[in-house]
Amino acid sequence: MRRKLNFGEIISCMFYKTKRILLAVAASFIVVTSQAQSVKSDSTVIRQIFQEALTKGKSYENLRYLCTQIGPRLSGSEGAAKAVAYTKQVMEGYGFDRVYLQDVMVPHWVRGDKEKAAIISKKSNVSVPIRALGGSVGTGKKALSAGVIEVKTFEELKALGREKVQGKIVFFNRPMNPAYIETFQAYSAAVNQRSSGAVEAARLGAVGAIVRSMNLFLDDFPHTGGLRYDESVTKIPAAAISTNGAELLSQQLKENPALQFEFKMNPQTLPDAPSHNVIGEIRGSEHPEEIIVVGGHLDSWDLAQGAHDDGTGCMQAIEVLRLMKVLNIKPKRTIRAVMYMNEENGVRGGRQYAEQALAKKEKHIAALESDAGGFTPRGFGIEASPTIVNQISKWQYLLAPFGLNDIGEGHAGTDIGPLKNDNIALIGLKPDSQRYFEIHHAATDTFDRVNRRELELGGASMAALIYLIDKYGL
Amino acid sequence: MRRKLNFGEIISCMFYKTKRILLAVAASFIVVTSQAQSVKSDSTVIRQIFQEALTKGKSYENLRYLCTQIGPRLSGSEGAAKAVAYTKQVMEGYGFDRVYLQDVMVPHWVRGDKEKAAIISKKSNVSVPIRALGGSVGTGKKALSAGVIEVKTFEELKALGREKVQGKIVFFNRPMNPAYIETFQAYSAAVNQRSSGAVEAARLGAVGAIVRSMNLFLDDFPHTGGLRYDESVTKIPAAAISTNGAELLSQQLKENPALQFEFKMNPQTLPDAPSHNVIGEIRGSEHPEEIIVVGGHLDSWDLAQGAHDDGTGCMQAIEVLRLMKVLNIKPKRTIRAVMYMNEENGVRGGRQYAEQALAKKEKHIAALESDAGGFTPRGFGIEASPTIVNQISKWQYLLAPFGLNDIGEGHAGTDIGPLKNDNIALIGLKPDSQRYFEIHHAATDTFDRVNRRELELGGASMAALIYLIDKYGL
């Protein structure tokens, strides 16, 4: 695209000059009003937030460190401990009013070192990449080898019955439905295979479960993620298979329904380990007892750097407070950035935060979470009373110029869920969702998949909304 | 992000079952109404368009061929000729009512083989990547070596005057302004350096021009693009320097204002060459004489595969017609997909198309172009009378469920510009713009930077709008 090479050139010249004049005017305006902040219009403040984020934002460089120098940080791991120390240090460096850790005991699951590609056919040497699902038991000292039953739904599995399932590995192969515009809907409609497949299979006597990765694209990366066992049902080993691997396995089963699938893994669940939520806050000037929380989760799956899930959310939460501080926005209420620990396999951090808030009788008026990737922000999903949803939606005219058109009821966030009550607004940043399930919980969730502008726009969007909530209340 | 592992699981199970029932109902509905298309609501048709594109869309695989098997296709090149033959063949394969070529003579500029990295300092062996701007003359047999004057604006250049500029290489180093939310605004405000820098520098006796790449990110890739000479001013060689290179050169100039910059290049402007617009159409069933055009440009700069600029637009235009055909949407008016030739350095294809339309007294009611990248679609920019803009904007309620919230006045497209009159709607697809100026006109504009879902959503968005324009007229 070339766009207006002739006429546009003249325009852009004029535009550039006009802009310089406008900037000069704006600069003097800032000087005049710096002692009288209330004079500034909301649109001026929001414009400044976005300008600062896009020109001098820090979340991208902070994320680079978290991803490339610390990397994976599953609860209980050394990476998680380093991430706690790092984010505390970053917030202290920005001079927030208070930065502290909140103790929390977390599950401690480790993958082990025996995990190997699964063998589909020994004869023709066909193998595919798999990865244990988070929380899975191992296969024992030997590899697990058994026949395979492919199903798409739990109903189909139940219809097969114990006779056909006993002693088999159940292969759950219902793809995410690509027809959804919002990819999280496709995830919601497919993820029960991963979270409950092992239990449902074991109920009928299966010896293992293989789950097609929660991925909207065909590639070779297994996507892990949490599973749940039922204490009344035998725990069987369960692993994710890449989408290409799932296609191949399905094809091979058509050719040879009696094929033997073989895989080995030795994950372990260790005793619960001590860890922390990391909290930074700017104290409110008028109502310090009223709290607005903004956050993401600090833990991440062990296969990658946890860039989009959820390094971005943590760095954006810190950025919200930094933007307010550097732009001299003095909130009436206390604004807290919380890096929750253990979203991925327990939500212990989110629960602990809510329990402590209750114990201390803290009044939270809103909680905002960013945990859907660091992509271009499109709006906010809100879980609250219709009155509150309506009130937030009314600010859309202030936010739409920044691409935030999609504001209304919707999923907020897993970590802030435990804070739910009748008066609080739980809010989730809603970024563009198209690329998320290419990298989610897989080795591909790395820093190089994050675009600087998209990430900084997300932090600015969160800061703009927090600014409005703080100024007008809910 | 894990999202609703416990409660949500139950919900998603129920949801999945409900969805199956709904799909079954929908399927029977389609059968019943297939002979009575008018019974279908607009939202049903639009939903089907998106569903087909997301589940069985062809533009991604067609783009893969164009990018990886043909690649660069600057006007007059062998690649351009192959792209003409390929797109004609693809449209013939889909069985459109008519597929044909429209002759057009195009400029034929070739880069030459002597282009090398520019040397900033021979002593300390510092060199930086540069690429000739499209249309530039060469440096002659020898390299060009001269002192450098750095400026940010044409005003600054003029203030320096002939005395300080004569015999020098002018280095235009005004960065794109990152504070704009829409990156095309930043491009418009910076691109005069590339298009007119050489002329403005030569007016004051400069011997060469170096232009900071139109890139919002810091990297090592020069971004080329068209320049314009003025026949009354000496033609001096002009090249793009990478953004990292520009930063380095600026720094070195601070340390040594007398440094000698040396570069060599031997591009040539050959005689105009014969080429073609490629046109496919579905004939209208009620008003075949009324034409709605959808298109992109087939030519691309020679440094890369021309994926986002503008292979995506071409493949989306073809997809619009394919979607209509496969979904049995029989348009009242004639729908034409046009792959314009020579947008990048002449707009000869766009002009020729408009001239031929005028000569044949064809009535065009709307022209839609996709030439802003194959990213997630956000809306449409419209150049038309307020009445028409208003009419199209009223369809937003049908398009918003698919993420198309940004519909209103805006830039449409360079190739369709020559069609402008009082009655036509010129429309541009408006995708998310954050990533475009990382790859625009640079070696990084490759197929692997395109996301399948984002691309197919764009084609579906175009098809939905064309469906509405055809059904209701303008």
In this structure, the strands spanning A377-383 and A363-369 are unpaired
CB B74 within 8 A of CB B441: no
Could you say which architecture CATH assigns to the domain B112-266? 3-Layer(bba) Sandwich (3.50)
Share of chain B above pLDDT 90, in %: 88
Nearest to A380 by CA among A314, A282, A466, A474: A466
User: Is pLDDT at B14 greater than 50 in this prediction?
Assistant: no
Closest approach of A252 to chain B, Cα-based (Å): 24
Mean pLDDT, all residues of chain A = 93
A2 CB neighbours in chain B (<8 A) are 225-226, 343-344, 414
B153 CB neighbours in chain A (<8 A) are 16
B179 CB neighbours in chain A (<8 A) are 50-51, 54-55
Higher pLDDT, B33 or B445: B445
The pLDDT tens digits for A1-60 are 655 444 333 334 334 444 444 444 444 444 444 444 445 899 999 999 999 999 999 999
Which of B2, B6, B154 is opposite residue A225, by nearest beta carbon? B2
Dist. CA B400–CA B42, nearest whole Å: 13
pTM: 0.92
CB contact under 8 A, A55 and B217: no
Which band of pLDDT confidence, cut at 50, 70 and 90, is reported for residue B3?
low
In this structure, the strands spanning A144-151 and A169-172 are parallel
CB contact under 8 A, A192 and B54: no
Dist. CA A238–CA A199, nearest whole Å: 10
Residue A116 has which token pair? Answer: 């190997």
> Count of alpha carbons within 13 Å of B163, Cβ hemisphere only?
2
CB contact under 8 A, A192 and B435: no
Residue B26 has which token pair? Answer: 């929908």
pLDDT at residue B297, as a whole number? 98
Residue B285 has which token pair? Answer: 């069933």
- Helix extents (H) in B256-293: none
CB contact under 8 A, A1 and B309: yes
The backbone torsions φ and ψ at residue A283, rounded to the nearest 5 degrees and listed phi first, read -75, 135
pLDDT at residue A39, as a whole number? 59
A16 CB neighbours in chain B (<8 A) are 153, 189, 192
A316 CB neighbours in chain B (<8 A) are none
ipTM of model over 0.85: yes
Dist. CA A82–CA A66, nearest whole Å: 9
Which of A1, A153, A401 is opposite residue B310, by nearest beta carbon? A1
The backbone torsions φ and ψ at residue B473, rounded to the nearest 5 degrees and listed phi first, read 70, 180
Closest chain B CA to residue A191:
B9
Dist. CA A351–CA A274, nearest whole Å: 15
Among all residues of A, which ones are annotated catalytic?
343
User: Is pLDDT at B206 greater than 50 in this prediction?
Assistant: yes
Dist. CA A72–CA B227, nearest whole Å: 48
pLDDT at residue A15, as a whole number? 40
Other CB atoms within 10 A of residue A385 CB: 14
Which of B5, B16, B453 is opposite residue A226, by nearest beta carbon? B5
Closest approach of B18 to chain A, Cα-based (Å): 11
The backbone torsions φ and ψ at residue A412, rounded to the nearest 5 degrees and listed phi first, read -100, -70
A376 CB neighbours in chain B (<8 A) are 376, 432, 434
CB contact under 8 A, A181 and B50: yes
CB contact under 8 A, A8 and B188: yes
Closest approach of B192 to chain A, Cα-based (Å): 5
Cα A84 to chain centroid, rounded: 17
CB A221 within 8 A of CB A200: no
The pLDDT tens digits for B234-282 are 999 999 999 999 999 999 999 999 999 999 999 999 999 999 999 999 9
Minimum mean pLDDT range among B116-130, B290-304, B431-445: B116-130
Closest chain A CA to residue B414:
A3
A183 CB neighbours in chain B (<8 A) are 453
The pLDDT tens digits for A286-322 are 999 999 999 999 999 999 999 999 999 999 999 999 9
Mean pLDDT, all residues of chain B = 93
The pLDDT tens digits for A138-188 are 999 899 999 999 999 999 999 999 999 999 999 999 999 999 999 999 999
The pLDDT tens digits for B51-103 are 999 999 999 999 999 999 999 999 999 999 999 999 999 999 999 999 999 99
Other CB atoms within 10 A of residue A85 CB: 13
CB B431 within 8 A of CB A19: no
User: Is pLDDT at B20 greater than 60 in this prediction?
Assistant: no
Closest approach of B345 to chain A, Cα-based (Å): 8
Please give the single-letter amino acid code of residue B47: R
Domain edges within chain B: 39-108+271-472, 112-266
What is the residue-wise DSSP string for B409-429?
Answer: E----TTTGGG--SSPEEEEE
Closest chain B CA to residue A309:
B1
In this structure, the strands spanning A169-172 and A208-212 are parallel
Closest approach of B200 to chain A, Cα-based (Å): 13
pLDDT at residue B25, as a whole number? 43
Which band of pLDDT confidence, cut at 50, 70 and 90, is reported for residue B188?
very high
Closest approach of B414 to chain A, Cα-based (Å): 6
Select the residue from B1, B172, B376 to test the A interface by mutation, using most A Cβ atoms within 10 A. Answer: B1
A188 CB neighbours in chain B (<8 A) are 3-4, 8, 11-12, 15
CB B54 within 8 A of CB B376: no
B403 CB neighbours in chain A (<8 A) are 181, 378, 406
B344 CB neighbours in chain A (<8 A) are 2
Which of B54, B343, B378 is opposite residue A179, by nearest beta carbon? B54
CB contact under 8 A, A228 and B5: yes
The pLDDT tens digits for A380-422 are 999 999 999 999 999 999 999 999 999 999 999 999 999 999 9
Closest chain A CA to residue B7:
A192
Closest approach of A331 to chain B, Cα-based (Å): 24
Strand order in the sheet with A406-409: A98-110, A268-282, A333-340, A287-297, A363-369, A425-431, A377-383, A406-409
pLDDT at residue A29, as a whole number? 43
A-to-B residue pairs, Cβ atoms closer than 8 angstroms: 160
Q: Which value, in Å, is the radius of gyration of the alpha carbons in chain A?
A: 25
Q: Which sign, positive or negative, has the C-alpha torsion A353, A358, A361, A363? A: positive
Could you say which architecture CATH assigns to the domain A114-266? 3-Layer(bba) Sandwich (3.50)
The third-level CATH classification (topology) of the domain covering A37-109+271-472 is Aminopeptidase (3.40.630)
Class of domain B39-108+271-472: alpha beta
CB A408 within 8 A of CB A276: no
Dist. CA B91–CA B325, nearest whole Å: 12
CB contact under 8 A, A9 and B451: no
The backbone torsions φ and ψ at residue A472, rounded to the nearest 5 degrees and listed phi first, read -105, -10
Give the DSSP H or E segment for B472: helix B452-472
CB contact under 8 A, B2 and A343: yes
CB contact under 8 A, B190 and A12: yes
Other CB atoms within 10 A of residue A126 CB: 16
Which band of pLDDT confidence, cut at 50, 70 and 90, is reported for residue B39?
low
Which band of pLDDT confidence, cut at 50, 70 and 90, is reported for residue B35?
very low
pLDDT at residue B44, as a whole number? 97
CB B339 within 8 A of CB B276: no
- Helix extents (H) in A166-290: 183-188, 192-203, 243-255
Among all residues of B, which ones are annotated catalytic?
343
Which of B179, B191, B432 is opposite residue A376, by nearest beta carbon? B432
Q: Long-range contacts: B153-159, Cβ < 8 Å, 24+? A: B153/A16, B154/A13, B154/B192, B154/B196, B154/B200, B155/A17, B157/B200, B157/B201, B157/B204, B158/B200, B158/B204
Please give the single-letter amino acid code of residue B57: G
Higher pLDDT, B38 or A11: B38
Which of B1, B178, B453 is opposite residue A414, by nearest beta carbon? B1
